[in-house]
Chains A and B, each alone.
Chain A
Amino acid sequence: MVMTFVFAFFIGGIICAIGQLLMDVGKLTPAHTLSTLVVIGAILDGMGLYEPIIHFAGAGATVPITSFGNSLTHGAIAEAEKHGLVGVLTGMFEVTSSGISAAIIFGFIGALIFKAKGNVD
């Protein structure tokens, strides 16, 4: 269990470090960087490699944005397995990502209670 915490820190940190390299060395904007990582997450899941990472690193793999690609792909593939080609399509409508719904809900609540402030520190 302690090891999961250690791996969560290291795997999460490494994914973020890759993101930083994409931004600094690759000169990508944050939006490009995050989009790239999401696609990588989806591809890794397609090759069956993301679940094992979650298994040993826990939140180190579920918290970074790559897990979006993973959970969406996971749903789509599960549906495809059940219903064939149609499943690929319907899978897209069945799968959800809690990150998206959470962001929508908390975005709405945030807009209700907070005001933007242009402070520097």
Chain B
Amino acid sequence: MEKEQYQKLEQYVTPKPPYLKNVAKAFVVGGLICLIGQAVSLFYMVFFNFTEATVGNPTVATMVFFSMILTGIGLYKRIGQFAGAGSAVPVTGFGNAVISAAIEHRSEGFVLGVGSNLFKLAGSVVLFGVVSAFFVALIKYILVTLGVVSW
């Protein structure tokens, strides 16, 4: 059988991902995680004098803490299998990427294992976050200097 012919057969046999179902599951689970995040935000605003502008930081940290617990007991990957991007896109998914790598590489020690591999999955997010922030700020600076926009 020729390559092209096989690729056609492969296309025919392989099931397409259930797009609608996957998007719906991602929407609901992602929404629920953000809802929990909102409850955490409210908690910090009511009891710890955070404002709407500053509450993001403690909220995110708390969500990552929840993520550690769920990752550690092996629950996060089950949520991930069900929800897909619904549990990968919230910051808990970023936490899961870092924490699962840390737990996994414990067997190579804290320096060579955990230390070197902590960001092997999440590193790209940090890289592109920082680099894009740099370029966006630079472009904005140039545009302001040229008088196109204002701060």
Q: Which residues of A contact B (CB under 8 A)?
A: 1, 4-5, 8-25, 30-35, 37-39, 41-43, 45-46, 54-55, 57-60, 62-65, 67-69, 71-73, 75-77, 79-81, 84-85, 87-89, 91-92, 95, 97-104, 106-111, 113-117, 119, 121
Q: CB within 8 A of A107: which of B86, B101, B129? A: B101
Q: CB within 8 A of A46: which of B89, B98, B101, B139? A: B139
Residues B126 and A19 in contact, CB atoms below 8 Å apart: no
Contacts of A79 in B (CB 8 A): 137
A43 to B57, CA, bound (A): 20
Contacts of A32 in B (CB 8 A): 124
- 4 new A-B contacts, CB < 8 A, other than A30-B97, A103-B98, are A16-B89, A32-B124, A33-B89, A106-B95
Known: A14-B27, A98-B61, A106-B95. A68 touches B125 (CB 8 A): yes
Contacts of A75 in B (CB 8 A): 133
Residues B94 and A80 in contact, CB atoms below 8 Å apart: no
Q: CB within 8 A of B88: which of A5, A19, A59? A: A19
* CB proximity of A112 to chain B, nearest CB, Å: 8
Residues B91 and A99 in contact, CB atoms below 8 Å apart: yes
A15 to B127, CA, bound (A): 21
Q: How large is the interface on B (under 10, 10 to 19, 20 to 34, 35 or more residues)?
A: 35 or more
A91 to B60, CA, bound (A): 21
Q: Which residues of B contact A (CB under 8 A)?
A: 17, 19, 22-23, 25-42, 52, 55-61, 63-65, 67-68, 71-74, 78, 83-86, 88-95, 97-106, 110, 114, 118, 121-122, 124-130, 132-134, 136-141, 151
A91 to B68, CA, bound (A): 30
Residues A80 and B140 in contact, CB atoms below 8 Å apart: yes
A15 to B87, CA, bound (A): 11
Residues B95 and A17 in contact, CB atoms below 8 Å apart: no
Contacts of B61 in A (CB 8 A): 98-99, 101-102
Q: CB within 8 A of B102: which of A17, A57, A107? A: A107
Q: CB within 8 A of B30: which of A15, A38, A88? A: A15
Residues B71 and A42 in contact, CB atoms below 8 Å apart: no
